[in-house]
């Protein structure tokens, strides 16, 4: 089942007198249970693709669909609602809130989505256990290693049972062993929970762990490897 579709998406930015094309008629499809890596050099449009897929930015043209629903052309409020309930984000530096423990990071994400009752403490603890952090639930970000912080971020992204997981360079601050650990975990959870995962990365050493790959250059798709 195809969960995410980007169809002929173009995104431009004003750049002085010129117009910078961040995404040039990009098309992409990600199935449930699939991790699709998006690679490319700096400025190739990887993060722009993530921003459009995550409804953080509106494309100039083209269509974004999630589970068959067209998501382009909606209000900001509706975009935020989709982000709350159907999309999970893992950011580059984990971006955990410094004042919260690992468990509270998940609890807050559930509250923000209005899922305070549905997402119990038990579910949060189970998710932290699933990422190997059952003993670190009461630790704050500064008490965790870089890899552990990313694992908390992955658990937080999954807490509201999203259809789509958008992951922005999760291994940029990790050594190669930790990087493989994190991507392997992402792949396992993606398969188990049948989410569609878009993994933006420049880390070519972990690509053997993903299901498919799209390579961007200057905002265009220059290579695509379909799922195995």
Partner 1 sequence: MFLALRELRSARGRFTLMAAVIALLSLLVVILSGLTAGLAAQSVGALDRLPSYRVALSAAPGQDGFATSTVTTRDVDDLARTPGVLEADAWGVTTDRIDEDAVAVLGAEPGSALAPHTLAPETLVADRSLGLEVGESVPIGGSTLRVAATVDGDLLNHLPAVWVPLDVWQSLPGSGGKDATAVALATDDTFDPAEAPDGLEILTRTDARAAVGSYAAENGSLTLIRGLLLAVSALVVGAFFTVWTIQRTADLAVLKAIGARTTYLLRDALAQAAIVLVVGAGTGALVGAAAGLAVSSKVPFVVDASTTLGPLLLLVVLGLAGAAAALRRVVNVDPLTALGGSR
Contact positions vs partner 1 (CB under 8 A): 13, 22, 42-43, 47-48, 50-51, 54, 56-57, 80-85, 87-89, 91-93, 95, 97-100, 104, 107-109, 111-113, 140, 156, 168-169, 172
Using CA atoms of 143, 160, 170, 182 in order, give the dihedral in degrees to the nearest 10.
Answer: 80
Place of tokens 């409804």: 55
Q: Are strands 212-217 and 35-40 parallel, antiparallel or unpaired?
A: parallel
Helix (H) or strand (E) holding 155: helix 146-158
Distance CA 178, CA 189 (A): 17
Shortest approach of partner 1 to residue 207 CB, angstroms?
20
Nearer to partner 1, 2 or 218 (CB): 218
Nearer to partner 1, 57 or 194 (CB): 57
By C-alpha distance, which of 79, 94, 81, 97 is closest to 152?
Answer: 94
Nearer to partner 1, 25 or 58 (CB): 58
Nearer to partner 1, 36 or 156 (CB): 156
Shortest approach of partner 1 to residue 180 CB, angstroms?
21
Nearer to partner 1, 33 or 162 (CB): 162
Nearer to partner 1, 1 or 69 (CB): 69
Shortest approach of partner 1 to residue 228 CB, angstroms?
28
Shortest approach of partner 1 to residue 226 CB, angstroms?
26
Distance CA 145, CA 36 (A): 26
Place of tokens 């468990």: 103
For 122, residues 6+ apart whose C-beta sits below 8 A from its C-beta are none
Shortest approach of partner 1 to residue 91 CB, angstroms?
6
Shortest approach of partner 1 to residue 172 CB, angstroms?
8
Task: Tell me the H-state helices in 24-89.
Answer: 46-53, 76-86
Q: What is the distance of C-alpha 38 from the center of its chain? A: 11
């Amino acid at each position: 089942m195809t969960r995410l579709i980007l169809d002929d998406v173009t995104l431009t930015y004003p750049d002085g007198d010129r117009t910078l094309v961040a995404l040039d008629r990009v098309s992409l499809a990600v199935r449930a249970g699939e991790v699709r890596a998006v690679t490319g050099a700096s400025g190739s449009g990887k993060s722009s693709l993530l921003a459009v897929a995550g409804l953080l930015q509106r494309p100039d043209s083209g269509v974004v669909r999630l589970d068959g629903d067209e998501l382009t052309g909606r209000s900001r409020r509706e975009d935020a609602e989709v982000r709350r309930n159907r999309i999970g984000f893992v950011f580059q530096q984990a971006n955990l809130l410094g004042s919260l423990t690992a468990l509270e990071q998940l609890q807050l994400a559930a509250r923000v989505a209005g899922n305070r009752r549905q997402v119990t403490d038990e579910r949060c603890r189970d998710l932290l256990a699933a990422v190997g952090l059952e003993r670190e639930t009461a630790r704050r970000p500064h008490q965790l290693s870089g890899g552990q912080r990313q694992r908390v971020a992955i658990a937080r992204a999954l807490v509201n049972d999203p259809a789509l997981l958008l992951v922005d360079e999760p291994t940029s601050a990790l050594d190669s062993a930790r990087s493989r650990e994190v991507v392997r975990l992402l792949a396992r959870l993606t398969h188990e929970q049948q989410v569609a995962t878009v993994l933006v990365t420049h880390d070519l050493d972990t690509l053997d762990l993903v299901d498919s790959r799209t390579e961007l250059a200057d905002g265009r798709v220059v290579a695509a490897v379909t799922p195995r």
